Amino acid sequence: MASLETAAEHERILREIESTDTNCIGPTLRSVYDGQEHGLFMEKLDARIRNHDREIEKMCNHHFQGFVDSITELLKVRGEAQKLKSQVTETNEHLQENGKVLIMSMEELRQCRVQQRNIATTIDKLTHCLPGNTAALAAQRYYPALRTLEQLEQTCLPKAGQYRFCSIMAENIPKLRIQIRDTAMSQLRDFLESIRKHSDKIGETAMKQAQLQRSLDSSVSPQPRALLGRRGRKEARAGTKSRGQGGCPLSEQASGILDVEDEEEDEVPGAQDLVDFSPVYRCLHIYTVLGLRDEFENYYRKQRRKQARLVLQPHSNMHETLEGYRRYFNQIVGFFVVEDHVLHTTQGLVNRAYVEELWELALSKIVAALRTHSSYCDDPDLVLDLKNLIVLFADTLQGYGFPVSQLFDMLLEMREQYGEILLKRWNVTFRQVLDQDNYSPIPVSTEEEYTHYTSQFPLQDPELEKLPFPKKLPFSEFVPKVYCQLKEFIYACLKYSEDLHLSSTEVDDMIRKSTNLLLTRTLSHCLQYAIKKKNVGLAELVQVIINTTHLEQSCHFLEEFISNITNVPPDTVNATKLYGTSTFKVRAHTFSLVLLSSLSPSFSFFFAAA
């Protein structure tokens, strides 16, 4: 039993030796020598070695012939390899000999490619250096581009020598100049079209600013004047702009325009703040650099003259509404505001003589158009509004230095037309008052009623005042109503005389002349119309005579009323007197004759009966 275990142990140790690394075999062998059966183990180990030797021998015998055959083939291959090596060596020597020429050609090609790349890079860099390229044109930096082109043409290219790229650049410089010139001219045409379309908006802004300035002036001075402050502020701005250009009159940044934020918060923005004048300045700079300034000036002035003729042509229905006149004036003001700004910021694009010539042309056409269209107007309110609009128009342009005396002369002419229209209106009013009158004394039953009538008409009768209520006023409703209408007429005449820069004496004289026409022509004819009515009886005729007598007595009160509102004493030398007293006397005498002629048959019958 023990021998079987020993044999199994030895078999395990042999398998472990066969399968274990030789570095770890020490502990295994130690276990063999620690036992008593190491001799037996050596026998088994020898037997195992012999067994493995037999297996190795069998394997070698099995593969020996193939090994011999492989060695034989290898020896044959060595001979062929020697031949192949010699052939490869010969081929390599031949290839190296023939490749020397190719290598030299490739080196020359490489040098050419490097030169070609350098030339392309140089051309590309030079192209980017040209100021007239697409990027520079897109940035609208035309003035620096032209200066750089001039430097290239006159300084840089002559120093570079007679190279092909120099000749190409020299050929392209005139084309770039033409491109820049055409681009700037296109922008100028767009600018001219824009200001033609928006001149009414520019003019509206300028007139609003003028109206604001007039309000400010009237709060400081008793006689408001037109826009001297505006001119001072504008010239100060222009001076600030010119100093900011660093002494370069052709600076491309010289727009001459302030942002709206630069204005005071409570001030209406100036008309120039609505327009970007940079296309004009840019085109002027470019044409100046190109030596074509005269050509540009002639073109600009020609185009503006054409636009002036369009602006000065009024619409056929302008007289129908005040808005039609306003639009007409706004367009004219907008046109001349632009010209005035160009005059003060471009140093010669337009001169004072040119602007004055345009204004003289415009003034004659404006006066002719206003005379024609205002003649169609029969509404005194519209005429008065038109007069105020013309005054604002004149004051606005006067603030920009344009003479407007002809406009005020025309307003004085329109004053006659306005007076005629007022006379027609008051003729209708007087007739309505006469038609509505009952031709009987006015009964008053209270102090309030008496005060009401005496406030409308200056009645001075101490005897009547002493009488108790109820009592009767000697005249009918016609008298206070006519007296109030006379004062309303005087106020209407005074409204037209405002802001015409007339003296108090001139205003007083105009009002008195118009009032004389109202008394001697309109009211006199209306009174004559009243007695010619078929239904006027003797009592009514007597009341008309009484009414006329009281109106005659009130004439000196009208004189005082006119003197109070015009601040001209009635006893001033050469002052026009009212003809009302004589007119009413004549009418009263006429009415008395009519009354006597009406009573003659009754007197004849009475005397015959007696």
**pLDDT score, position 58:** 82
Q: What is the DSSP letter of 469?
A: S
**95 and 157 housed in the same domain:** no
**pLDDT score, position 126:** 64
User: Looking at per-residue confidence, does 339 or 253 come out higher?
Assistant: 339
What's the alpha-carbon Rg for the chain, to the nearest Å?
Answer: 59
User: Where does the pLDDT of residue 403 fall: very low under 50, low under 70, confident under 90, or very high at 90 and above?
Assistant: very high
Structural domain ending residue among the three candidates 84, 112, 130 = 130
**357 and 430 housed in the same domain:** no
**pLDDT score, position 551:** 78
**pLDDT score, position 249:** 33
**487 and 587 housed in the same domain:** yes
pLDDT (average), residues 522-549 = 72
Contact 226, 398 (CB under 8 A): yes
User: Where does the pLDDT of residue 22 fall: very low under 50, low under 70, confident under 90, or very high at 90 and above?
Assistant: low
pLDDT surpassing 70 at residue 462: yes
User: Looking at per-residue confidence, does 18 or 92 come out higher?
Assistant: 92
Structural domain ending residue among the three candidates 347, 373, 402 = 402
Q: Is residue 450 part of a domain?
A: no
Q: Is residue 17 part of a domain?
A: no
**431 and 327 housed in the same domain:** no
User: Looking at per-residue confidence, does 537 or 290 come out higher?
Assistant: 290
Q: Is residue 229 part of a domain?
A: no
Whether the CA torsion 118, 123, 128, 129 is positive or negative: it is: positive
Contacts of 172 (CB under 8 A, 6+ apart): 130
> How far is residue 377's CA from residue 380's CA, in Å, rounded to a whole number?
8
**276 and 367 housed in the same domain:** yes
For residue range 546-605, what is the model confidence (pLDDT) as tens digits? 887 887 777 888 888 888 998 888 666 455 666 545 555 555 445 454 544 554 454 444
Q: Counting beta carbons within 10 angstroms of the beta carbon of residue 67, is it exposed (0 to 12), middle (13 to 18) or buried (19 or more)?
A: exposed
Q: Is residue 137 part of a domain?
A: yes
Contacts of 278 (CB under 8 A, 6+ apart): 252, 255
**303 and 394 housed in the same domain:** yes
Whether the CA torsion 158, 163, 169, 172 is positive or negative: it is: positive
Torsion from C-alpha of 252, 257, 262, 264, nearest 10 degrees: 170
55-64, 277-286, 311-320, 474-483: lowest mean pLDDT where?
55-64
**429 and 388 housed in the same domain:** no
Contact 322, 389 (CB under 8 A): yes
123-127, 188-192, 235-239, 319-323: lowest mean pLDDT where?
235-239
Please give the tally of structural domains in the chain.
Answer: 3
User: Where does the pLDDT of residue 436 fall: very low under 50, low under 70, confident under 90, or very high at 90 and above?
Assistant: confident
Helix orientation angle between 293-311 and 352-374, rounded to the nearest 10 degrees: 10
**66 and 101 housed in the same domain:** yes
**pLDDT score, position 54:** 86
> How far is residue 117's CA from residue 561's CA, in Å, rounded to a whole number?
101
User: Looking at per-residue confidence, does 33 or 522 come out higher?
Assistant: 522
User: Where does the pLDDT of residue 310 fall: very low under 50, low under 70, confident under 90, or very high at 90 and above?
Assistant: very high
Beta strands in 183-250 (DSSP E): none
Distance of CA 577 to the CA centre of its chain: 54
**pLDDT score, position 258:** 36
**375 and 510 housed in the same domain:** no
Q: Is residue 365 part of a domain?
A: yes
**CA nearest neighbour of 528 among 515, 514, 539, 541:** 541
Q: Is residue 579 part of a domain?
A: yes
pLDDT surpassing 80 at residue 20: no
User: Where does the pLDDT of residue 356 fall: very low under 50, low under 70, confident under 90, or very high at 90 and above?
Assistant: very high
pLDDT surpassing 50 at residue 233: no
CB count in 10 Å sphere of residue 564: 10
Identity of the amino acid at 227: L
For residue range 186-205, what is the model confidence (pLDDT) as tens digits? 989 999 999 988 888 999 99
Q: Is residue 11 part of a domain?
A: no
**pLDDT score, position 369:** 93
User: Where does the pLDDT of residue 70 fall: very low under 50, low under 70, confident under 90, or very high at 90 and above?
Assistant: confident
**397 and 430 housed in the same domain:** no
**192 and 331 housed in the same domain:** yes
Q: Is residue 27 part of a domain?
A: no
> How far is residue 292's CA from residue 298's CA, in Å, rounded to a whole number?
10
Structural domain ending residue among the three candidates 97, 130, 163 = 130
Domain housing 581: 419-440+476-609
Report the CATH number that the domain containing residue 559 is assigned in CATH.
1.10.357.30
pLDDT (average), residues 369-394 = 92
For tokens 């109503």, name the residue.
481
Per the document, the length of the chain is: 610
**123 and 139 housed in the same domain:** no
Put simply, whether the predicted model's pTM sits higher than 0.85 gets the answer no
